[in-house]
Amino acid sequence: MLQKISQLLEIVKGFEAHNKEQVEQFRLQYLSKKGELSQLFDMFKDVPNDQKKEFGKQLNFLKQVIQEKYDFLQSQFQSTEDVLQGIDITLPENPIRLGSNHPLSIVKNRIIEIFLKIGFVVSEGPEIEDDWHVFTALNFPLEHPARDMQDTFFIEKNPDVLLRTHTSSVQVRVMEHQKPPIRAVFPGRVFRNEAISARAHCIFHQIEGLYIDTNVSFADLKQTLLYFAKEMFGVDTQIRLRPSYFPFTEPSAEMDISCSICGGKGCNVCKYSGWVEILGCGMVDPNVLENCGIDSKIYTGFAFGMGVERITMLKYQIKDIRLFFENDIRFLRQFEAVL
């Protein structure tokens, strides 16, 4: 029987086929139910037990060689039609879904674009800051509650290493290093130690703006913000400024826009007032200019700052700020068509 196996091995190795019929012939002769291989396996049960191991090994080797040879012969005569059998190559391919911009990026880019059109540039700064750039240079008194542990994330025991609570820190950096005229917006991520809820998060995004030159007035601020509101929320949008307080601006104001949902008639988004608050602003306090090495007798300027989440929630009527950070694909896919 061993001899038979080695004979077959030789024959199979040397076998050549010139057409499909000969390949089929090969299959019938060696691999079919009544083929040589089956016969050998049938004979295997009569092999004495002490020789079974050696025979088994040889037989399995032969089986492997025959199968490989058959696969090879088949592949030689396989036509394109065989390969494509059952595949309709005229069907359109499965569409590949492209990723989309995050809603916060869409709105951030839109805001930047609006200010680029009137000559502002974009500046960015570090998220890990020091006390000077976040508070002291911006005229925050030492005992101001914003410096408190309740609001600010300190990274080390050293209170001079902290996560910025607003992007006004970048305003300071720009004023320290550039001579007026300065016209820039500062987008970025900010951090405040707040309890996370539908309306507040400990991480959010701001875009602040700064304009410093000779003779910059409150009228310039108002006109710039009116232009922004109309570009962002539609030409019919109106604005109103309410007096407010920030340590780094004097006078300070908060700006409302006429509610873009109900057009000012009153709805649950504007809490039936017709107005929605969207940003803080004011004339840069002379102390801040001096702290940054700018002569406040020659130069004046205005600044404003807004939350990107807030504006995005308003624009797309998103009710829960946490959706921005959960990366739920069902939420994000709704913005696929928006560029």
Residues that bind ligand PHE (CB under 6 A): 166, 168, 208, 246, 249, 280-282, 303-305
- What is the nearest approach in angstroms of ligand PHE to the Cβ of residue 232? 17
Nearer to ligand PHE, 129 or 208 (CB): 208
Nearer to ligand PHE, 180 or 305 (CB): 305
- What is the nearest approach in angstroms of ligand PHE to the Cβ of residue 261? 24
Question: DSSP per residue over 100-122, as a string?
Answer: ---HHHHHHHHHHHHHHTTT-EE
Residue 90: alpha-carbon gap to chain centroid: 35
Torsion-angle region of 119 (φ positive above 0: left; ψ -120 to 50: alpha; else: beta): left
- What is the nearest approach in angstroms of ligand PHE to the Cβ of residue 174? 13
| Number of neighbouring beta carbons within 10 Å of residue 335 | 17
- What is the nearest approach in angstroms of ligand PHE to the Cβ of residue 306? 8
Nearer to ligand PHE, 66 or 303 (CB): 303
Nearer to ligand PHE, 59 or 288 (CB): 288
- What is the nearest approach in angstroms of ligand PHE to the Cβ of residue 204? 10
Nearer to ligand PHE, 23 or 168 (CB): 168
- What is the nearest approach in angstroms of ligand PHE to the Cβ of residue 198? 20
SS3 content of the chain, % helix, strand, coil (to 5): 40, 20, 40
Query: Which residue has the closest beta carbon to ligand PHE?
Result: 305
- What is the nearest approach in angstroms of ligand PHE to the Cβ of residue 208? 5
Q: Are strands 300-307 and 203-213 parallel, antiparallel or unpaired?
A: antiparallel
Cβ-based neighbours of 319, under 8 Å, separated by 6 or more:
198, 313
Nearer to ligand PHE, 74 or 136 (CB): 136
Which of 277, 174, 283, 166 has its CA nearest to residue 221? 283
Nearer to ligand PHE, 30 or 246 (CB): 246
Residue 269 phi, psi dihedral angles, 5° rounding: -65, -45
- What is the nearest approach in angstroms of ligand PHE to the Cβ of residue 280? 3
- What is the nearest approach in angstroms of ligand PHE to the Cβ of residue 115? 14
Residue 102 phi, psi dihedral angles, 5° rounding: -70, 145
Helix runs in 141-277, H state only: 168-177, 218-233
Q: CB of 307 within 8 A of CB of 315? A: no
Q: And the tokens for 72?
A: 């090879």
Gap between the Cα atoms of 289 and 137, Å rounded: 9
Which of 232, 135, 216 has its CA nearest to residue 183? 216
Q: And the tokens for 293?
A: 């090495």
Nearer to ligand PHE, 47 or 202 (CB): 202
Nearer to ligand PHE, 169 or 258 (CB): 169
